[in-house]
Structure 1
Amino acid sequence: MPLRLPPLPALRFFEAAGRHQSFKLAAAELNVTPSAISHGIVGLEQALGVELFAREPRGISLTASGADYLSYVSEAFSLIAIGTQRLPNHRADRPIALSCAPTFASRWLLPRLAGFRARWPNVNVSVDTSHRQVGFPVDGFDFAVRMSRAPVAGTAWTRLFGERFVPVCSPAYLANLRDEQGNADLRRATLIHVNAASEDWQAWFDATGTEGIDTAAGLRVDTIQLAFEAAAMGLGVALGRRPLVDRDIDNGTLVQACAATIASTTAYWLVSAENADRRPELFDFKRWLVSEAEHFDTHANPADQALQSTAN
């Protein structure tokens, strides 16, 4: 007797909505409307005879039954994806799919990809910088670069490198911040905040013992790249993240508002899909990326340490 399964499109809607805890984000990922996601899940709930989501004024949340069901549905989609990838000669020429933040991609990864292409000219790489959670292997990604304090259970995590924070602004803006002793007075500055950053100005103030500055005031943007651009335009002082800000400091677009730097508590990690070592090109890409990060970290740290000792 054949198995009776719920409608598979509705299950796909449910898996994405449950993972994102949002109909809107699920719709953006699957390239459908939020209404289609909502109607699909209502139909699924009616077919199953159980409520999967609690609808609340501020959004949705999984019910206890929905959370339990999601674990089975997610595992089922993962098994299908893994089985498909292991088929003989399945899409052997497909690009290596990497998800990462846009600023990391433009300022660290892309300048180094030419080296990878020179060694493996027949291997293509696809870089996705959209702001969305990635599920391995359901979403078709092989790797993701994420900021985290520690590895997360369930996938393979390899540490790449950490960041160091230093306030930066345009040369003209810095000139206006200097007091009679020639030091930059951040109390007179407009602070540029990055909404999505796990660590921002409060972390720098706490680590350096800086007091008397309202960390809630200032200009807010949604990416590190926009923060750097706003600082370069003279709109305020951004928290520079080395190595991402190094290019701007080297070319003089941005200058350090003060010398003190602090190490972030988070780091960049390479997250790998379960089968990343089974395909030779994935193994080579991972080994290359980790090697690039190790080489960079080794050469970047001495300069950072010297800068830090200058501030002490």
Structure 2
Amino acid sequence: MPLRLPPLPALRFFEAAGRHQSFKLAAAELNVTPSAISHGIVGLEEALGVELFVREPRGISLTASGADYLSYVSEAFSLIAIGTQRLPTHRADRPIALSCAPTFASRWLLPRLAGFRARWPRVNVSVDTSSRQVGFPVDGFDFAIRMSRAPVAGTAWTRLFDEQFVPVCSPAYRQTLRDAGGEIDLRQATLIHVNTAGEDWQAWLDGTGTSGIDAAGGLRVDTIQLAFEAASMGLGVALGRKPLVDSDLASGALVEACAGTVASSTAYWLVSAEDADSAIRRPELADFKRWLVGEAAPFARSAASGGNLEANAEVNDNPNTGSDGGATHPHR
């Protein structure tokens, strides 16, 4: 007798909603309406005879039965995805799919992709900068770049580098911050905050031991890119994040408002499924990982030494550089 399975579309809705803890986010991921997600899960609950979610005014949460069932459903979809990828007829030339934050993509990753393409011209790369959570390998991504203090179990994590925080502003705005003695007084500045950043001005103030500054007031934006643009327009002082702000400092669009560099407590990590870079199945994934870690290595060394990257510029710009980088394993 064949196994009696629940409706597979409803299971897909349930897996996404359970992973996101949100019907709205699941709908955005699957390109359907939140109403379709809700109705599909209601039908699934009726078919199973069990309540999977607790529905409250502020959102949803999994019931104990739902959480237990999600672990089985997620594993089943992962096995299907892995099996599909390993089929002999499965396209081996599909792009390398990478998820990362938009500012990181535009300021660090994209300027370096030409080097990767020069070495592997037949390998295509797809970059997704949406903020949705990524599930390996169900969502079709090969890699993600995320900020975290430590790795998370169940996936492979390779540390890339930390950020270095330094206040930045336009050259003209810095002149307005000078006191009668010519010293920079940040108490006069409008601080530009990034709402989505895990670490912001308070981390720099604590790290430098600076007091007497209201870390809550000022201008608020939702991306690092907007913060840098606002600072270059003379709207205030943003928290520069090296190496993302390096190009603005090199061009003179932004300058360091004052001395004091603080290392972030989080780092950028390259995340993948544990067997994503299998040299047998898709050797280009292993090549991409080695290349990316090699590109990140000079920044990791610079952050560790507290120096700058000018001495490493030739290495960074050379498309033929790249190694395992000695990285250890552990969004905006």
Per the normalisation by structure 1, the TM-score is 0.95
Give yes or no for the alignment of 1:297 onto 2:287.
no
Is contact 2:162–2:303 with CA below 8 Å preserved after alignment? no
SS in 2 for 1:304: coil
User: Post-superposition shift, 1:302?
Assistant: 5.2
Give yes or no for the alignment of 1:56 onto 2:59.
no
How many residues are paired up? 306
Is contact 1:230–1:236 with CA below 8 Å preserved after alignment? yes
User: Post-superposition shift, 1:188?
Assistant: 1.6
Is contact 2:277–2:285 with CA below 8 Å preserved after alignment? yes
| 1:168 alignment partner in structure 2 | 168
In 2, Cα distance between the equivalents of 1:6 and 1:24?
A: 22
Is contact 2:146–2:270 with CA below 8 Å preserved after alignment? yes
Give yes or no for the alignment of 1:105 onto 2:108.
no
In 2, Cα distance between the equivalents of 1:142 and 1:46?
A: 35
User: Post-superposition shift, 1:136?
Assistant: 0.1
Matched to 1:236, the amino acid is G
Is contact 2:164–2:303 with CA below 8 Å preserved after alignment? no
Is contact 2:26–2:34 with CA below 8 Å preserved after alignment? yes
Is contact 1:164–1:264 with CA below 8 Å preserved after alignment? yes
Per the normalisation by structure 2, the TM-score is 0.89
Give yes or no for the alignment of 1:183 onto 2:183.
yes
User: Post-superposition shift, 1:298?
Assistant: 3.1
In 2, Cα distance between the equivalents of 1:154 and 1:27?
A: 25
| 2:77 alignment partner in structure 1 | 77
Is contact 2:154–2:274 with CA below 8 Å preserved after alignment? no
| 2:291 alignment partner in structure 1 | 288
SS in 2 for 1:9: helix
User: Post-superposition shift, 1:300?
Assistant: 6.2
SS in 2 for 1:4: coil
Matched to 2:97, the amino acid is A
Gaps of 5+ in 2: 310-332
Is contact 2:82–2:137 with CA below 8 Å preserved after alignment? yes
SS in 1 for 2:307: helix
In 2, Cα distance between the equivalents of 1:263 and 1:14?
A: 40
Q: 1:1-312, aligned counterparts within 5 Å?
A: 1-278=1-278, 279-298=282-301, 304=307
In 2, Cα distance between the equivalents of 1:215 and 1:47?
A: 53
Is contact 2:170–2:232 with CA below 8 Å preserved after alignment? yes
Matched to 2:167, the amino acid is P
More divergent stretch after superposition (293-302 vs 277-286): 293-302
In 1, Cα distance between the equivalents of 2:100 and 2:28?
A: 17
SS in 1 for 2:259: coil
- RMSD of aligned Cα (Å): 1.4
What CA deviation, in whole Å up to 9, does each residue of 1:148-206 have, x standing for no partner? 11111110000011110001111111111111122222222111111111111111111
Gaps of 5+ in 1: 307-312
Matched to 2:136, the amino acid is F
Matched to 2:293, the amino acid is V
What CA deviation, in whole Å up to 9, does each residue of 1:58-106 have, x standing for no partner? 1111111111111111111001001111111411110000000111111
Is contact 1:137–1:274 with CA below 8 Å preserved after alignment? no
Is contact 2:194–2:221 with CA below 8 Å preserved after alignment? yes
* Runs of 4+ with >4 A deviation: 299-303
| 2:316 alignment partner in structure 1 | none
SS in 1 for 2:264: strand
In 2, Cα distance between the equivalents of 1:89 and 1:281?
A: 17
Is contact 1:95–1:126 with CA below 8 Å preserved after alignment? yes
User: Post-superposition shift, 1:51?
Assistant: 1.2
Is contact 2:277–2:283 with CA below 8 Å preserved after alignment? yes
SS in 2 for 1:84: helix
Is contact 2:6–2:47 with CA below 8 Å preserved after alignment? yes
SS in 1 for 2:192: strand
What CA deviation, in whole Å up to 9, does each residue of 1:215-234 have, x standing for no partner? 22111111111111111111
Is contact 1:169–1:238 with CA below 8 Å preserved after alignment? yes
